């Protein structure tokens, strides 16, 4: 299959995540747990029962921390869809690349060129405008926006850790250990919150499986595969099509038509991310990994 076609199919696959979650009557923590548990099991099978071992103590520590952040990301992002619209939730969580850039600047001392600063400013302004538009709809929408933004912070931390781990680990090894850890974190959170993990109807089990297989394996795994054949920036820009696909599906399934203000704010947000991604990489900078300059979010 041509990488460009695979990339298009991957975008379509991840676009189903938010609508599928909205269709499920299960609690958010249960949805998150089964999505990661099923994805870990599927990855184990794809590796033919040999996903590989983490080479040393540092790798184990980083993978555990990455899994923790991934689990927290799914916990809060999936919960956000109970309070705010698909458009706002998916758009706000897409802010993760600019959050990762700011974290790299503050924590690692990485310099930002002028175009990157402009892109970050536009993206954050668009995100703030989205939240401001939901403010008039009551506290629930704003709470959902806050959860989605928190999800962007957690997934940005997950990707920053992935920058280190994926230099030495294969995709299957990395994803298996991170998905397994995230599932364990979500299991503990579900027990602590007394969230029932069953029984559920057949429709919910199909949704759990769809999130794991379609959105995670056919979505994010395809993105990782495409990175071997296409520039990382091309893959990342293509992933920005996910909110568009999710918004279309939300309109078809739930009648959620984006408001004019949402469309304008979303355009500013995505335009800012595109400006950030178009900035030249300084000379001497190592080529980015799949998770570097904003690979996909983990929706």
> Number of structural domains, the chain?
1
Does residue 137 register a pLDDT over 70?
Answer: no
* 64 belongs to a structural domain: yes
* 151 belongs to a structural domain: yes
Averaged pLDDT for residues 198-217: 94
* 118 belongs to a structural domain: yes
Six-digit token string for 36: 């990661």
What's residue 10's pLDDT? 87
Does residue 245 register a pLDDT over 90?
Answer: no
Under the banding of pLDDT at 50, 70 and 90, the label for residue 71 is: very high
Across 42-46, 103-107, 222-226, 294-298, which has the greatest mean pLDDT?
42-46
Query: Which residue from 69, 133, 118, 75 is spatially nearest to 96, judged by alpha carbons?
Result: 69
Six-digit token string for 139: 């506290």
* 288 belongs to a structural domain: no
- Above pLDDT 90, what percent of the chain? 36
Q: Rounded distance, CA 61 to CA 67, Å?
A: 10
Averaged pLDDT for residues 276-290: 58
* 294 belongs to a structural domain: no
* 282 belongs to a structural domain: no
Q: Rounded distance, CA 257 to CA 249, Å?
A: 10
**Which residue range(s) make up the domain with 136?**
3-277
* 105 belongs to a structural domain: yes
Residue pair 293/97 in contact (Cβ under 8 Å)? The answer is yes
* 58 belongs to a structural domain: yes
Under the banding of pLDDT at 50, 70 and 90, the label for residue 112 is: confident
Does residue 295 register a pLDDT over 70?
Answer: no
Give the angle 29-141-293 at the CA atoms, nearest 5°.
70
């Amino acid at each position: 299959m041509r990488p460009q076609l695979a990339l298009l199919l991957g975008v379509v696959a991840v676009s189903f995540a938010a609508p599928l979650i909205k269709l499920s009557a299960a609690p958010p923590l249960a949805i998150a747990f089964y999505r990661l548990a099923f994805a870990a099991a599927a990855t184990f099978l794809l590796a033919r029962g040999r996903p590989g071992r983490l080479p040393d103590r540092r790798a184990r520590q980083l993978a555990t921390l990455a899994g923790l952040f991934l689990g927290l990301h799914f916990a809060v992002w999936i919960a956000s869809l109970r309070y705010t619209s698909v458009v706002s939730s998916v758009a706000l969580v897409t802010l993760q690349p600019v959050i990762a850039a700011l974290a790299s600047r503050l924590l690692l001392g990485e310099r930002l060129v002028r175009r990157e600063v402009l892109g970050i400013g536009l993206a954050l302004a668009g995100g703030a405008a989205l939240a401001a538009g939901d403010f008039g709809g009551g506290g629930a929408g704003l709470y959902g926006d806050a959860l989605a933004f928190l999800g962007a912070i957690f997934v940005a931390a997950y990707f920053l850790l992935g920058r280190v781990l994926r230099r030495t680990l294969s995709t299957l090894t990395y994803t298996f250990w991170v998905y397994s850890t995230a599932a364990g974190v979500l299991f503990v959170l579900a027990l602590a919150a007394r969230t029932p993990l069953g029984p559920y109807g057949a429709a919910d089990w199909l949704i759990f499986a769809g999130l794991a297989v379609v959105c995670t394996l056919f979505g994010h795994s395809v993105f990782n595969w495409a990175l071997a054949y296409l520039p990382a920036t091309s893959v990342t820009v293509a992933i920005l099509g996910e909110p568009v696909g999710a918004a279309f599906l939300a309109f078809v399934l739930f009648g959620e038509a984006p408001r004019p203000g949402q469309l304008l704010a979303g355009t500013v947000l995505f335009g800012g991310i595109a400006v950030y991604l178009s900035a030249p990489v300084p000379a001497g900078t190592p080529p980015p990994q799949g998770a570097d300059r904003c690979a996909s979010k983990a929706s």
